[in-house]
Amino acid sequence: MRNFILVLSALFSTVFYAQKKPNLIPYPQTVNITEGEFIIPETLVLNDKLPKEETDYFKKRLGSLVKFKYSSKTEGAHLTQALVPQPKIPVTTEDVREKYTLTISPKGIFISSYTKQGYFLALQTLIQLFEEHREDKKIPALRIEDQPKFAWRGMHLDVSRHFFTVDEVKQYIDYLTMYKLNTFHWHLTDDQGWRIEIKKYPKLTQIGSKRKESMIGAYADNTFDGKPYGPYFYTQEQIKEVVKYAQERHITVVPEIEMPGHALSALSAYPELACTKGPFESATKWGVMDDVFCPKDETFTFLENVLDEVIRLFPSQYIHIGGDECPKTRWKECVHCQELIKKNNLKDEHGLQSYFIQRIEKYVNSKGRKIIGWDEILEGGLAPNAAVMSWTGVNGGIEAAKAKHFAVMTPGAYCYFDHYQGDPQSEPNAFGGFTPLEKVYSYNPIPAELNAEQAKYISGVQANLWTEYITDFKQVQYMIFPRLMALSEVGWGTSDPKNYKEFENRVISQFKVLDKMNVNYAKSIYNISGKIVPGNNGITYELSTSQDSKGVRYTLDGTDPTINSKNYQGPISIPKSITVKSAYFENGQLKSSISSQQFTISKTTGKKITLENQPSENYSFGGASTLVDGIIGNVKQLGKTWLGFDGKDVVATIDFGQKTGFSEVYFNTLENKGSWIHLAKSAKIFVSDDNKNFKLIKEIGKEEIQNAKGKIKLNAGSQNAKYLKMIIENAGIIPAGNPGADSKAWLFVDEIGVN
């Protein structure tokens, strides 16, 4: 083991340090507070044998706090190093590359690790301790024994939809470094732009790195800014610069070159690689496009040449080849594709996707590398040595692990940082969904369906930042912070959802560091959170905040709580349709944004509801009760006020508790075809008194739902029943000519009410 000894001279203190948990993120595996404290001196004397790059980083981060000087002597130096050869580790032994021990005593600081990487991670912990005790200059004596649970702890950045400079990408890598993430997934190509110079194919950046305009607002609005975008791309020298920068911080850069779908920017430059003649242009819309790479010899030659240059630039073990959201529309209509299916005895176009991926994998393997792709690479059979990045949920990771393939878990429900993290009314425009800090922190990357042996194939966890609605780097900062901290602790393996409030306090302590760095982080953590609780007499509304609840004030008439409001003292009864506005105050001053929640109360509100089919994990916030919580679905809040069903019907039964009279039934269904969300195909309404024998009282079809634009109000006649049952039919397979054609449609439903 290498021993990096930090003996930092200080005044000896015999004062016993209080047993206070240090504000470290990610929290180490074991922390033992001991007696005494280390006094931070004005000047740290460093032994000149310390690893240079790692120690230079340490000096740069602490440059404003202490001064440094070097000494060639071990004794008397404040920071010295003793090297011990790394032992040969048997295959069955845990990976120790990132393992370290940090001991702080009143006399000095001692770090030991097997590698420079472990030493560097120990320095990140030490830096946080220095930053926490910047003012009192006293670090408690302690001993930390630490290593991460997961080998892959990653953050993704999409530079295709919106481009970020080399300096901004470096800043992004610095953020990963601070919180011990070790993988940067660089999404370099997509329909909307090709961002990496390929010398053999110059038109990729001459043509594919620009688009004539960009979509703004929601997909359904179909509005554009009318402004040319690009050309924006990274030269190969800039790529090398970023890779070197990351390597110095012990971060692996994994490049992504999308195939066979998400290829429109490449096809705009080289249309002969498509199934149809074109012409093509880089996409101006977000979403999924029908034109994809055609699996013909010239396409594979092109991709192999591209990958040759990519592999020379990136030393990572894995090359990400995308593989997601590949419509089969063009392949179904392509004579060459259909002949290829027959020639290779493939089952269908899904088999053709597998053929495509396996052919690429064979080539990448021949170069000594491996491929990783989104979970759609499972379609038609997984390539022999491929790893899977599970994004549509956890099933892709489960399937891969059971087949003894490595998987990185990145489900949208927990790991998509382009979702809202607070009240959409007070947040910058986002893609949709609702993924607050607490939800990220609650994630366990190892699915319960896996046994201990299968769980070994879960390599780790990653969060993704897609940038359709992220136009500048300040907004990048806003979307990743503080959620990156929760991801960090999940990946380290020390997160504990039961102690979320304690983690939240550590996050708030880190805000001082981000303030000094001028980082534009989200302050949603201070905002008021509302929780609907059903009861025998309707619903109540519970308000909470990360701060003292005594500072919460609210109104029930929709008026501004800064003018005339009540002190929050407990759950608020919601007996009728009202608007609750709330905010957090300190010393009479507003400290949070104003949260607003409108309630529309009906006879179903707060009643018991059961679902035969469960919503997708990505869009299941609040569970079945979301459909009877008195809140009408907001288009911006797909993950919070709606339930989303992937290819499934909604079959909901509501128990009124007693026979109840009503004559009107209403519900909402959503359309956003760019996100594969289609209006319901039909709806049927039934009543019953025994929950066994149901009578059909109303049925409507697709045309009526479309005419109402998904906001359905039905005259049900005069009814008096104990149970109401609704079957809302999913649109089924998405037809040709639509984004996601040939895939299952999403059905979003909210608020089933009766009057």
Say if residues 397 and 447 touch (Cβ distance below 8 Å): yes
Q: Which of 655, 553, 642 is nearest to 607 (CA)?
A: 655
Q: Is the dihedral of CA 277, 282, 284, 285 positive or negative?
A: positive
Cα 654 → chain centroid? 34
Say if residues 93 and 149 touch (Cβ distance below 8 Å): no
Say how far apart CA 632 and CA 641 lie, in whole Å: 7
Say if residues 680 and 730 touch (Cβ distance below 8 Å): yes
Residue ranges with strand state E in 261-399: 318-322, 370-374, 387-390
The one-character DSSP state at 229 is: B
Phi–psi pair at 694, nearest 5 degrees: -110, 145
The question of whether 262 is a catalytic residue gets the answer yes
Find tokens 């929601």 and name the residue. 218
SS3 state of residue 57: helix
Say if residues 273 and 203 touch (Cβ distance below 8 Å): no
Task: Quote the tokens at residue 207.
Answer: 């043509």
Catalytic residue among 185, 187, 262, 405: 262
Catalytic residue among 132, 146, 158, 190: 190
Find tokens 């340490």 and name the residue. 58
Q: Which of 57, 59, 32, 33 is nearest to 45 (CA)?
A: 59
Question: How many beta carbons lie within 10 A of that of residue 110, not counting itself?
Answer: 19
Catalytic residue among 325, 375, 468, 489: 325
Task: Quote the tokens at residue 102.
Answer: 């940090």
Say how many Å lie between the first and final Cα of the chain, rounded.
72
Say if residues 223 and 215 touch (Cβ distance below 8 Å): yes
Question: How many beta carbons lie within 10 A of that of residue 695, not counting itself?
Answer: 12
Task: Quote the tokens at residue 89.
Answer: 């580790």
272-282 residues labelled b (16+ CB within 10 A) or e (exposed): ebbbeeeebbb
The question of whether 185 is a catalytic residue gets the answer no
* Angle ∠(550,553,555) on CA atoms, nearest 5: 155
Catalytic positions are: 190, 262, 325
